Amino acid sequence: MPAPTCSSCHAARAALRRPRSGQALCGSCFCAAFEAEVLHTVLAGRLLPPGAVVAVGASGGKDSTVLAHVLRELTPRLGITLHLVAVDEGIGGYRDAALEAVSSQAARWELPLTIVAYADLFGGWTMDAVARSTAGSGRSRSCCTFCGVLRRRALEEGARLVGATHIVTGHNADDMAETVLMNFLRGDTGRLARGGVLGSGGEGCALPRCRPLQFASQKEVVLYAHFRRLRYFSEECVYAPEAFRGHARDLLKQLEAARPSTVLDLVHSAERLALAPAARPPPPGTCSRCGALASHTLCQACALLDGLNRGLPRLAIGKGRRVLQAQPPLPGNRSQATSDPVAPRGPCTCEQSRDGATLCRDGGGQAGAPCALQSDLSATE
Ligand SMILES: Nc1ncnc2c1ncn2[C@@H]1O[C@H](COP(=O)(O)OP(=O)(O)OP(=O)(O)O)[C@@H](O)[C@H]1O
């Protein structure tokens, strides 16, 4: 049976049925509709005002490739300037190839590109070093936690470096739905409360950031890249298989098979979610070390770096963080981002007391008190 005619231009043969509406469209009408929807998201949400200098978080993957391309198409309508900012996390066998993809995109599209590296920003720490430090081997389940927090900080630093007024990332509807599901599964009400908003207005000293592809499904992002013939890097990060996100993704796929609107329904649920007053997180303050927005004394990035530099990497995750906050600060400065490289310390040396309770010599606990590192490890495994 021949393909139906495009229901928009009524001239070309339809090349796809839109997953969300079932509408039969040709490739160019689909791309035009996709771009119009992103434009609507940006304008309706007042995400990027005319004159904005926008740092696009460019990973070389499909989402940020599509985001950069669409925004470049929309630049005349929006009156914005684009600058690609790529973060080199220091992940051997993965990021180098992705950065090559970003560099060739920047050259092809004639967009300025700036690359910032964890090693330079975070006192010598690369993600491979963090992974070795957290697990004693090359892999760790908490890698994505560290990487997510540090990448957010690195993107902020990179955006400031290029004089950006706004940051955009390529998170799509599927990414958002996974995050909502994960926050539900973890009972993380604080993140649930923030999860649905299209972007942050730049509280504290942070630059405003937003996700213009938040309502675009992953399938449509891939279709757009296909019809626009965009080349991108598609390998999975070497640490991703260990992440909890993978379980949320699998669950979402099953739910979507039974109910195709699951992804967008979850995104919209998060938008409308209102927490009971007692469950609302306290208003954030500022990090005592770097001045970034923080719900504790230290922001997440400074707390993680502090834990790493003390040789107690997991102390900054979960309950151990409270113990870490009580520690006198290590000599450091703004986010420790520009501090001299600090050699990673060895693992905590705990000992067993006579009554069998674990005592800690440098795990952050008081003499004779249970080791905070030990209890934190069990909380996060
Ligand atoms: N190394 C990086 N440098 C700059 N921005 C990044 C980097 N990694 C991720 N981002 C930004 O964060 C967004 C979400 O990244 P994440 O890896 O969680 O999802 P993804 O679906 O794989 O995205 P992508 O397909 O763009 O790689 C990306 O679209 C990009 O905008």
10 Å CB burial of residue 193 (0-12, 13-18, 19+) is middle
343 pLDDT band, cuts 50/70/90, is very low
Name the range with the highest mean pLDDT among 115-124, 305-314, 349-358.
Answer: 115-124
Q: Torsion-angle region of residue 318: left (phi > 0), alpha (psi -120 to 50) or beta?
A: left
pLDDT at 206: 84
The residue ranking higher by pLDDT, 117 or 347, is: 117
Question: Do 114 and 162 touch, CB atoms closer than 8 A?
Answer: yes
Strands 16-17 and 81-88, bridge-based pairing: unpaired
CA of residue 89 to ligand 1 center, whole Å: 12
pLDDT at 324: 55
Q: Is 140 assigned a ligand-binding role in the annotation?
A: no
User: CA-CA distance, 206 to 160, in Å (whole number)?
Assistant: 10
Give me the mean pLDDT over the 368-380 stretch: 31
pLDDT at 295: 77
pLDDT at 187: 82
pLDDT at 255: 94
User: CA-CA distance, 137 to 31, in Å (whole number)?
Assistant: 45
- In the chain, what percentage of residues exceed pLDDT 70? 76
Q: Which amino acid is at 117?
A: A
Which phi and psi angles does 114 have, rounded to 5°?
-125, 135
Domains located in the chain, CATH noted: 26-274 (3.40.50.620), 286-328 (no CATH)
The residue ranking higher by pLDDT, 316 or 149, is: 149
Q: Which of 8-12, 166-170, 234-238, 355-359 has the lowest mean pLDDT?
A: 355-359
Give me the mean pLDDT over the 300-316 stretch: 82
Nearest CA to ligand 1 atom 8: 59
Q: Is 356 assigned a ligand-binding role in the annotation?
A: no
pLDDT at 28: 96
Give me the mean pLDDT over the 334-339 stretch: 41
Question: Do 82 and 71 touch, CB atoms closer than 8 A?
Answer: yes
Question: Do 349 and 174 touch, CB atoms closer than 8 A?
Answer: no
Residue position matching structure tokens 């675009």: 216
Question: Do 58 and 233 touch, CB atoms closer than 8 A?
Answer: no
User: What 3 state SS string does 82-109 have?
Assistant: EEEEEEECCCCCCHHHHHHHHHHHHHHH
The separation between CA 292 and the C-alpha centre of its own chain, rounded to angstroms, equals 17
Inter-CA distances, 155 with 57, 165, 168, 281, Å: 7, 12, 10, 25
State the ipTM, two decimals: 0.97
Q: Is 163 assigned a ligand-binding role in the annotation?
A: no
pLDDT at 141: 64
* CB of 59 sitting under 6 A from ligand 1: yes
Name the range with the highest mean pLDDT among 8-22, 192-206, 211-225, 239-253.
Answer: 211-225
∠ CA 270-272-273 to the nearest 5 degrees? 65
pLDDT at 345: 30
Residue position matching structure tokens 């080199």: 88
Evaluate if residue 352 carries a pLDDT over 60: no
pLDDT at 19: 80
* Count of beta carbons in the 10 Å neighbourhood of residue 270: 22
Report pLDDT digits (tens) over 220-257.
999 999 999 999 999 888 887 767 888 899 999 999 99
pLDDT at 163: 97
Question: Do 321 and 303 touch, CB atoms closer than 8 A?
Answer: yes
Q: What is the dihedral of CA 60, 63, 86, 191, to 10 degrees?
A: -140
- The chain-wide mean pLDDT, for the chain, equals 80
pLDDT at 245: 85
Confirm whether pTM is higher than 0.90: no
Q: Which tokens is 126 given?
A: 């690369």
List the one residue out of 354, 348, 345, 343 whose CA is nearest residue 377.
348
* CB of 123 sitting under 6 A from ligand 1: no
User: CA-CA distance, 261 to 273, in Å (whole number)?
Assistant: 18
198 pLDDT band, cuts 50/70/90, is low
Name the range with the highest mean pLDDT among 144-153, 280-289, 356-365.
Answer: 144-153
Nearest CA to ligand 1 atom 23: 63
* CB of 61 sitting under 6 A from ligand 1: yes
Q: Which tokens is 337 given?
A: 């981002």
CA of residue 58 to ligand 1 center, whole Å: 7
pLDDT at 270: 81
Give me the mean pLDDT over the 54-59 stretch: 98
* CB of 249 sitting under 6 A from ligand 1: no
CA of residue 355 to ligand 1 center, whole Å: 49
**From start to end of the chain, where are the E strands?**
16-17, 24-25, 53-57, 81-88, 113-117, 166-168, 199-200, 209-210, 285-286, 293-294, 350-352, 358-360
